[in-house]
Each structure stands twice: as C-alpha cells, then as structure tokens.
Amino acid sequence: MYRVGQILFVILNKRQQVIPVQVNEQVVRRSLTGEDVSYTVLIPAKNDDKLYNLDEVDGDVYETIDDVREVMHDHATRIITDITDKAVAIARARFEHNVNPLDDIVTSSDDTGEEPGIPPEDHTVQVTLENGTVANVRLPDNL
C-alpha cells in the first residue's frame, strides 16, 4: 500500500524512461467480495501536472530510486549477457572456438618464474573472462 503524498518512481514500458509520480489520492472500496484499493497519482508534465489512475500507467512502479537502479542494472546485465552469449555461440559454430574458462587462465612469468617489476613473493595471473576481458591478478606466494 502506498500513502497519500508518497513519491513513487515508474519505469515506463514503451519508452524505458523513469518518471516520478506523487500519490494524490487513495480510494478503498469494500464490498462483500473483498477490498479494492486504487490510487490517483500526479504526473509531471511540461505545462501542468496531470492526474492519472496508477493502474492505467503503462509501467512498473517502485518505491525508491535505488530499487529502480537495481532493476535497470539487472536488466542491462541480462541484455549484455544475451548479446555476448550469442557472440560466443556464433564463434563456436562458425570458427570452432571453445570458450572454457579453465583453458583461458595463463600464468605470466619469465624464465626465473618472476614477473618483471613485481616483488618475488607475488605472481601475476592473467584471467580471460567470459566476455573477453583480460584481467591481471596478483597472487602472493604465501596463500
């Protein structure tokens, strides 16, 4: 349940835009079949704010902007994962490319077993992530 005066955030479905709305009215209808709660919200517009029934707004409603950020971040992560997974699938099918994370771990060292410029007690390991990013990880010998 929302309270009158509360600010909500709506991610619009068609435009992927976030708009703030303010709960202007709460209507509770009680009948023999149960209780129905509806809300009227104030939506900012260029010239004048407009009232809408919250159920008629085509979007997902969140109580905090942090919830909006989390949902949008998760959505973006899923899209990026789908895009990169498709690229890997094409690479496998067309170029017989095998992406195995264990095969992509390469220890960087010279003949002495030490990385230039890094103290002897540390070693650098290169790890290739699923998306192709190469990360250098320094590991101390005393682990």
DSSP string, 102-113: TTT-EEE--TTS
* Distance separating alpha carbons of residues 67 and 9, to the nearest angstrom: 9
Domain spans of the chain, in order of start: 7-29+36-63, 65-98, 106-140
Burial per residue of 16-41, b for 16 or more beta-carbon CB atoms within 10 angstroms, e otherwise: eebbebbbbeeeeeeeeeeeeeebbb
- 134-140 and 106-108 beta bridge pairing: unpaired
Q: Which pair of tokens denotes residue 28? A: 């509770």
Give the span between the Cα atoms of 107 and 127, in whole angstroms.
9
Look at residue 62 in the predicted model and tell me its pLDDT: 97
3-state SS class at 4: coil
pLDDT tens-digit profile of 17-65? 999 999 999 999 999 999 999 999 999 988 889 999 999 999 999 999 9
Residue 27's Cα: distance from chain center in Å? 34
pLDDT of residue 143: 45
Confidence band, pLDDT 50/70/90 cuts, at residue 118: very low
**Which letter does DSSP use for residue 88 in this model?**
H
pLDDT digits (tens, 9 = 90+) for 81-110: 999 889 888 888 888 777 665 555 555 544
